[in-house]
Amino acid sequence: MRESEIIKLFMSEIRDEILGDDAGYIRVDDRWILLTTDMLVWRTDVPDFMNPEDAGRKVVTMNVSDIAAMGGEAKTFFFSIGIPKDTSEDVLRGIARGIKEGSKRYGVRVVSGDTNDVKEIVVDGGALGISERLLLRKNAKPGDLVCVTGDLGRPLLALLLWLKGEDIPKDVLEKARDPIARIEEGKALSKIANAAIDISDGLSKELWEIARASNVRIIIDENSLPIHPTVKELTEDPVDIALASGEEFELIFTIPPNKVNEIPFEFTVIGRVERGNGVYLEGNGKMPMLGWEHFVGFGNAEH
């Protein structure tokens, strides 16, 4: 079964739950407590341009990013680690250091840890956050502008160069090894935006998620995408790379035009929300739902 089928199976068996947004949430007094977990599987999620510190740090980033995407402030990080008996102390120490660095960077406390004997390294992380107002995927409104933080394309470009055995430029490697969750941005957006999502699986997939959950049409201007200069320089299809690049941990958000001048950080307007459904490229038809598989499947990958 594919992951989407497995998730469907679990959803059909476990009803009355909140699976779907970046994090689950419950109400406590006048706040929302947000909760997320995200598992890193060494074999598939840690290409060898990353070291154990990078991996540990990334588990924290993945999880606090989910909290940020819901408009929350991450407070604590927790983890369970599964490791084969023959794992070297260096690797373990590296993961632990990475987790510590990540938790320091994002100002979260590590409150629980658990280790288990598993046949391959898995690090299942989780984060708890607090928010006064939730940003949900389903709340995008016709008339909203669609915006994104940071730049796009570097993590996928790094992966493609790595698969081809080519050198990865330093500025590209930097984000691929150590993406940064948009904590402050998420907090600020919780007061003014309508919907948000973080880019784990690629811009196009995340936009389709918002369009579907909110029952709206999203129109994107491909010329406005904040594609990283090196991605433009090194690839023939920079727009496709930007649409497909995952693990960016940038935030996509939709916001009423009259709130845009209240945004206290740099961002790029990339499109707008209309009545209807689906995601479209301005003057260029439906946006394909691209992932990294698209490039690896049809590219020159030799791994």
Q: Are 135 and 68 in contact (CB under 8 A)?
A: no
Q: Which of 59, 67, 83, 196 binds a second copy (CB under 8 A)?
A: 83
The stretch among 81-89, 232-240, 255-263, 288-296 that binds a second copy (CB under 8 A) is 81-89
Q: Hey, what are 224's tokens? A: 């406005």
Q: Give least dist CB 174 to a second copy, A.
A: 24
Q: Which of 58, 74, 126, 199 binds a second copy (CB under 8 A)?
A: 126
Q: What residues pair up with 79 in beta bridges, in sequence order?
A: 113, 125
Q: Give least dist CB 74 to a second copy, A.
A: 11
CA distance 148 to 192: 14
Q: Give least dist CB 68 to a second copy, A.
A: 15
Question: Using the rule CB under 8 A, is 271 a contact of a second copy?
Answer: no
Question: Using the rule CB under 8 A, is 113 a contact of a second copy?
Answer: yes
Q: Hey, what are 154's tokens? A: 């570097």
Question: Using the rule CB under 8 A, is 100 a contact of a second copy?
Answer: yes
Q: Which is nearer to a second copy, 126 or 291 (CB)?
A: 126
Ligand-binding site membership of 247 (annotated) = yes
Q: Hey, what are 108's tokens? A: 């979260």
- Three-state secondary structure readout of 105-132: HCCCEEEEEEEEECCCCEEEEEEEEEEC
CA distance 34 to 127: 8
Question: Using the rule CB under 8 A, is 213 a contact of a second copy?
Answer: no
CA distance 58 to 175: 11
Cα 105 to chain centroid distance, Å, stands at: 17
Question: Using the rule CB under 8 A, is 133 a contact of a second copy?
Answer: no
Ligand-binding site membership of 114 (annotated) = yes
**Residue 153: which region, alpha, beta or left (left: phi > 0; alpha: psi -120 to 50)?**
left
CA distance 4 to 112: 29
Instruction: Name residue 7's amino acid.
Output: I
Give the closest residue to 139 by CA, choosing from 222, 209, 66, 67: 209
Question: Using the rule CB under 8 A, is 36 a contact of a second copy?
Answer: yes
Q: Which is nearer to a second copy, 111 or 264 (CB)?
A: 111
Residues forming the annotated binding site?
22, 36-38, 45, 66, 113-114, 137, 198, 200-201, 247, 292
Q: Which residues make up each annotated binding site for ATP?
A: 113-114, 137, 200
Annotated binding site for Mg(2+): 22, 36-38, 66, 114, 198, 201
Chain contacts with a second copy (rule: CB under 8 A): 1, 3, 6-7, 9-10, 13-19, 23-26, 28-29, 31, 33, 35-39, 41, 43-44, 75-76, 78-83, 85, 87, 89, 92-93, 96-97, 99-100, 103, 109-120, 122, 124, 126, 128, 130
